[in-house]
Structure 1
């Protein structure tokens, strides 16, 4: 079983808010969050004649928000947008069948305690963010366990799923990448993601060799990290990248941003990923050199 909500091959949307993601949207965003298929959505494009020309806002804001209407530099345009289906009719019909089966399964499990068994793919600090139009701030809310697959009861879930752990629980168990764990937790969905919470009866079946995140390290990352407007694929896959749920306090809008815990100024300037790749290349070269030396000695 996979999570059809998170499929990104079904729809494309050219709304401005998706430009940073290459117009890629999840099925959940289209069908459940915005509910904009097939009828589309009407939205108002906010404009500021000062910011559009690169001039500073007279009120000190960095972007347009709900406090702007009434300002003489503010205007808005009414626009219509509609997601596009990227697959043929047969594939879309199969997707709908898959989605109905998944939603039935979710309804049967939501709010219940379930058992889970799987190998931890990564452990990351869990942050939440807020913006007031002038600045952004992050708060620390424990840690997030990421699994590429796992068993929920007797069902094999072959997709990403998550579990939240408190700072105290992480301090006690020191969970890390590669750990094989078994536990009980509350089953739920968070914006289309399968998330288990309130874990107990934890058992570490096998220890991995990944890094152990501590609360102090998480606070350092929160203070020195960088929020990116785009979600580059390399950042999503990076162990130092984390998606942060944000709320815009000027208009109540909820969205996600990529947070770089290495504090890189821009994904294109990332040295962490290049350093990791260089280490892999060096290890491969050393391994090949050792193989040749051993072969020559025979």
Structure 2
């Protein structure tokens, strides 16, 4: 069993789980496109780029409006260089970057920017200042701040937290991510209304809690569809043998795929292997019984010896 990519502690949404031979295909989901919905709060920045971190700065946000956000979002479309947050699972000298920070150490080297791609960047809703109460770190009271709910369709390696931080700078303010939900990963979606071609509905956490009767049929449908899309070739069976190895019908043995070894076809049975080896038997327990033949030869030799010493 394995997974096709984790989520931040603050995030929710789709996680792909692979079982059996499906784990071999999880790498495809690690590198696939994903869709997120995030809420960005303006006015403050944190060291983790989300509300779980420590506040590192404040900035005026009274001028941030829906029009301003809509004007800046197109600048994040296409391919560009993005710097990951220091609180990330990216490894530096074999150690996760976040572990350096948690241990109170500085990173040996600065995290390098990486190339990312954004297909869609849409403002879904905007809440102005003093219209929304938002709790931010190190605040004794509720902090009033404008927020923007944004949907992003991005490539693998994209950090939504870095996007929120950069969006605050682009709007001449500061910002951090307050919530994150992965609504699509490859063909798996949370809502059928997303309009993704060939979409597959993911099993929700509520369905898992409701019991097997709620999610069993959906899981069976997904597994059968996956098996149809990824059929097993006879040549890929264990030991190179065909699917009818254990069948008893006549003529099935001829249809079996024989294992190749050093350019030759290995026999299916022990008898065939002995014949293929020229009738040679290996091991003392596999030698033919020659007891009677040996005794006869011994008697013949004895009689010959006795006859030779008798007087003529």
TM-score by structure 2 length?
0.20
- Structure having the larger proportion of residues in strand: 1
TM-score by structure 1 length?
0.21
Q: Which structure has more RCO (C-alpha within 8 Å, separation ≥ 6)?
A: 2
- Specify the structure having the higher radius of gyration (Cα): 2
